Chain A
Amino acid sequence: MKRIATALSLALLLAFSAQTAWAQTLQTVKQRGQLICGANGTLAGFGLPDPQGNWTGFDVDFCRAIAAAIFNDPSKVKFVPLTAANRFTALQSGEVDVLSRNTTWTMSRDTTLGLDFAAVTFFDGQGFMVHKSLKVSSALELNGASVCVQQGTTTELNLADYFRSHQMALKTVTFATADEAIKAYDSGRCDSYTTDSSGLYGERLRLTSPNDNIVLPEIISKEPLSPAVRQGDDSWEDLVRWTHEAMLDAEEFGVTKSNVDEQLKSANPEIRRLLGVEGQFGQSLGLTNDWAYRIIKSIGNYGESFDRNVGENSPLKIARGLNALWTKGGLQYGLPVR
């Protein structure tokens, strides 16, 4: 019902407000003294509050990085948990300033939803999890299987595509939230559960006995996950994009949370520009010139955030894979600060 309420409030907003247009997000955020970030509320590794209300996760840290750049204080963020189904409406209606919630950058979302994607923070792809007892070792053996899936996702569409293109019969059971879908899978309603493979790692931990389930080797789609902002506020989009680029550049140059203070003395001009020792790059974003220093000082570089939340230092243990730096055979390629 929450979803209907969000959609309804958007409809009312559009119908009765004068001149809805989005500009000045940065100014609004500064005046408010807080960033409002739409995050995943149930996905371990990406966005999840603990019982005390402390949020953790890769997407959560991204919002903290933005807050650090603006306020020099990563805690000045209010997180709003969003489901797959209400996330876009929440962004469109202005309920959140930025959507940082494992959201795939697709053409139709980019061109018809009135929003813009800032940068691919995580290269992902869709996978399947099955009960071990089925003795299935490939997704191509799933002909006739029941699959639990969450609605409002690219997952829902890829699933139908994959079975259709391989001429396999499919019984989909669609749920509004990941919670319901995973519970139904766990209780045996479905043979398989499908989502982004990063999500599979997180969701698997929630099952009654994670070890009785396996993830199949096939990756059936491209899921470039990216934070999104409302279309029409280009400077805000710039700020969000460069937050990601700064974290990537820092990793590439070996600037870390712990050595960033020493690095201020570095002779490397790239590092000097990144950290605001040279140039006016922060000001061009509407921030102070030490914006990237603030990010790295409080959150760390891209690799640090990755390892801490989803990588080797986390329960998920996701390999860097496509998300390794370009210098290490991956796709993450930080744009130059200059």
Chain B
Amino acid sequence: MRGAIKPARHGAQAWRVGLQVLLAAVIGGLIYGAFINAADNLARTHISSGFGFWNNSAGFDISQTLIPYSPGISTFGRAFWVGLLNTLFVAALGIVLATLLGFTIGIARLSRNWLVARLAGFYVELIRNIPLLLQLLFWYNAVLKSLPELRDSIVLPMGGFLNNRGLFLPRPVFAPGFSAVIAALLVGIGAAIVLQVWARRRRKRSGAPTPVGRWIAALLVGLPLAALALAGFPVAFELPQMSRFNVVGGLEILPEFAALVVALSVYTAAFIAEVVRAGILAVAAGQTEAAQALGLRSGTTLRLIVVPQAVRVMVPPLTSQYLNLTKNSSLAVAIGYPDLVQVFAGSVLNITGQAVEVIAITMAVYLTISLFTSLVMNLYGRMTAIVER
């Protein structure tokens, strides 16, 4: 279109802006009209509408709640937040694990070791070609079927249990003195960053190698440990206890959660591996050759020369993988993990019967998550973009 209109004419610009405004107004009008029409239709068909249900008590139970929730007292709104947090939790963990696994496999695929490269290739082909839902059911059933029943629980060292109801670990209970440890950790992180920046500057200026790794480790680990000892170990552990039907107390990791995280990470890692491989191959071979000519070892070349350049190419496709993972997490429904779709677009929708409102909110949430992820990744992309000097 651009080329078709002669750019010389001044009026053209105003005309285009006017057109945009008109279009926006028409779309806005349509949406408004749809809302009014829907409200009207709901009233005519005697279906209740509005958001009044938000504050009514929910009455159903949820298996995993990151914030306090109790069926009799908590509201539908609370159930929404429980579901949303469960979605974000599973997505965040999935993204971290898929990234680690994906990078490892992507790099392994380019390995000069024939076996390693083939195994990585096999992984990618296998995982990419099996529908995620099947994999999810496989993991869930594998988890459920292979683990023992409650009475034959595997007893883990330090008082944990593993059975087909989940993994139960001692739960740390923090005494007030623990804030000193957190403070020490924060100070350690801050100091480590400062040290790293200083070391890099110095190296750039003088070229002298400035190894600070050991100091950074000391700051990150030693400092908090010292604080822990000084505060007199202000942590107690609540041990899970065997009861007649279940393990009570402790930290509980549900099989539904574990299966979902594993399935999402394993699946998405295959795609990320391809992104990583493509990103690395996109870096001109001359870069590697030049680095090697300078005498850098291949690990160092990868870390300092190839990956930083590859990451730039990788950011956009990585973003879409992260978004896919987040959206795929709604397959939770199939195995009873209480994510947003299961809790909100499932139980809440059915109990309140307010399909229109609930679906609208659910879609808005996924849209927001997507836009936010894209925003963060775009910022990161801009930060790592090549600055022309």
Across the interface, do A113 and B47 meet the contact criterion of CB distance under 8 Å? yes
Across the interface, do A11 and B44 meet the contact criterion of CB distance under 8 Å? no
Across the interface, do A109 and B336 meet the contact criterion of CB distance under 8 Å? no
Check if B75 is an interface residue, CB within 8 A of chain A.
Answer: no
Check if B42 is an interface residue, CB within 8 A of chain A.
Answer: yes
Q: How far is the CA of A161 from the CA of B61 in the complex (A)?
A: 9
Across the interface, do B359 and A173 meet the contact criterion of CB distance under 8 Å? no
Majority SS at the chain B contact face: helix
Q: How far is the CA of A169 from the CA of B47 in the complex (A)?
A: 36
- A160 and chain B: residue at smallest CB distance: B71
Q: Mark A145-177, 1 if CB is under 8 A from B, else 0.
A: 110100111001101110110000111111110
Across the interface, do B347 and A151 meet the contact criterion of CB distance under 8 Å? yes
Chain A residues with Cβ below 8 Å from B141 are: 187
Across the interface, do B245 and A151 meet the contact criterion of CB distance under 8 Å? no
The one of A16, A22, A172 that contacts B45, using a Cβ cutoff of 8 Å: A22
Residues of A128-146 contacting chain B, CB below 8 A: 134, 142-146
The one of A15, A170, A181 that contacts B61, using a Cβ cutoff of 8 Å: A170
Chain B residues with Cβ below 8 Å from A92 are: 45, 47, 355
Across the interface, do A4 and B144 meet the contact criterion of CB distance under 8 Å? no
Chain A residues with Cβ below 8 Å from B46 are: 114, 231-232
Q: How far is the CA of A22 from the CA of B46 in the complex (A)?
A: 10
Check if A7 is an interface residue, CB within 8 A of chain B.
Answer: yes
The one of B35, B45, B334 that contacts A231, using a Cβ cutoff of 8 Å: B45
Q: A10-B355, A160-B60 are in contact. Are A85 and B45 (CB under 8 A)?
A: no
CB proximity of B194 to chain A, nearest CB, Å: 48
Q: Mark B339-352, 1 if CB is under 8 A from A, else 0.
A: 00110011101111
Q: A8-B359, A17-B41 are in contact. Are A189 and B353 (CB under 8 A)?
A: no
Residues of A257-275 contacting chain B, CB below 8 A: none
Q: A7-B345, A188-B149 are in contact. Are A88 and B336 (CB under 8 A)?
A: no
Q: How far is the CA of A143 from the CA of B245 in the complex (A)?
A: 8
- A18 and chain B: residue at smallest CB distance: B37
Across the interface, do A146 and B165 meet the contact criterion of CB distance under 8 Å? yes
Chain A residues with Cβ below 8 Å from B60 are: 156-157, 160, 172, 174
Check if B11 is an interface residue, CB within 8 A of chain A.
Answer: no
Check if A52 is an interface residue, CB within 8 A of chain B.
Answer: no
- What's the interface size class on A, roughly? 35 or more
Q: How far is the CA of A8 from the CA of B360 in the complex (A)?
A: 9
Across the interface, do A4 and B359 meet the contact criterion of CB distance under 8 Å? yes
Q: A114-B45, A180-B334, A231-B45 are in contact. Are A157 and B351 (CB under 8 A)?
A: yes
Check if B227 is an interface residue, CB within 8 A of chain A.
Answer: no
Across the interface, do A112 and B360 meet the contact criterion of CB distance under 8 Å? no
Q: How far is the CA of A10 from the CA of B256 in the complex (A)?
A: 30
Q: A144-B245, A173-B256, A187-B141 are in contact. Are A159 and B61 (CB under 8 A)?
A: yes
Across the interface, do B336 and A184 meet the contact criterion of CB distance under 8 Å? yes
Across the interface, do A14 and B347 meet the contact criterion of CB distance under 8 Å? no
Q: A15-B38, A16-B37, A144-B243 are in contact. Are A174 and B350 (CB under 8 A)?
A: no
Check if B381 is an interface residue, CB within 8 A of chain A.
Answer: no
Chain B residues with Cβ below 8 Å from A134 are: 245
Chain B residues with Cβ below 8 Å from A153 are: 350
Check if B48 is an interface residue, CB within 8 A of chain A.
Answer: yes
Q: Name the residue in A11, A22, A88, A191 with the highest tally of chain B Cβ atoms < 10 Å from its Cβ.
A: A11
Q: A16-B34, A142-B245, A151-B342 are in contact. Are A174 and B45 (CB under 8 A)?
A: no
CB proximity of B298 to chain A, nearest CB, Å: 46
Across the interface, do A10 and B144 meet the contact criterion of CB distance under 8 Å? no
Across the interface, do B333 and A176 meet the contact criterion of CB distance under 8 Å? yes
Chain A residues with Cβ below 8 Å from B71 are: 160-161, 164
Chain B residues with Cβ below 8 Å from A142 are: 245
CB proximity of A17 to chain B, nearest CB, Å: 7
Chain A residues with Cβ below 8 Å from B41 are: 13-15, 17, 19-20
The one of A8, A21, A109, A148 that contacts B44, using a Cβ cutoff of 8 Å: A21
Across the interface, do A85 and B164 meet the contact criterion of CB distance under 8 Å? no
CB proximity of A278 to chain B, nearest CB, Å: 37
Chain A residues with Cβ below 8 Å from B44 are: 19-21, 232
The one of B38, B61, B338, B356 that contacts A160, using a Cβ cutoff of 8 Å: B61
Across the interface, do B144 and A188 meet the contact criterion of CB distance under 8 Å? yes
Q: Mark B75-114, 1 if CB is under 8 A from A, else 0.
A: 0000000000000000000000000000000000000000
The one of A143, A145, A152, A189 that contacts B347, using a Cβ cutoff of 8 Å: A152
Q: How far is the CA of A17 from the CA of B38 in the complex (A)?
A: 8
Residues of B182-225 contacting chain A, CB below 8 A: none
Q: A21-B44, A170-B61, A231-B46 are in contact. Are A145 and B245 (CB under 8 A)?
A: yes
The one of A11, A89, A160, A191 that contacts B245, using a Cβ cutoff of 8 Å: A191
Across the interface, do B246 and A144 meet the contact criterion of CB distance under 8 Å? yes
Check if A64 is an interface residue, CB within 8 A of chain B.
Answer: no
Given A17-B37, A109-B353, A188-B164, 16 other A-B contacts at CB below 8 A? Answer: A4-B359, A7-B355, A11-B359, A11-B360, A14-B38, A92-B355, A113-B353, A134-B245, A151-B350, A153-B350, A170-B61, A174-B60, A174-B63, A174-B347, A180-B335, A180-B336
Of all A-B residue pairs in the complex, the 9 with the closest CB atoms, nearest first, are A152-B350, A114-B47, A172-B61, A160-B71, A15-B34, A112-B48, A114-B46, A7-B355, A145-B245
- Please, could you name 11 A-B residue pairs with CB atoms under 8 Å apart, sorted by A? A7-B356, A7-B358, A15-B34, A17-B41, A18-B37, A20-B44, A85-B349, A108-B353, A153-B350, A187-B164, A188-B144
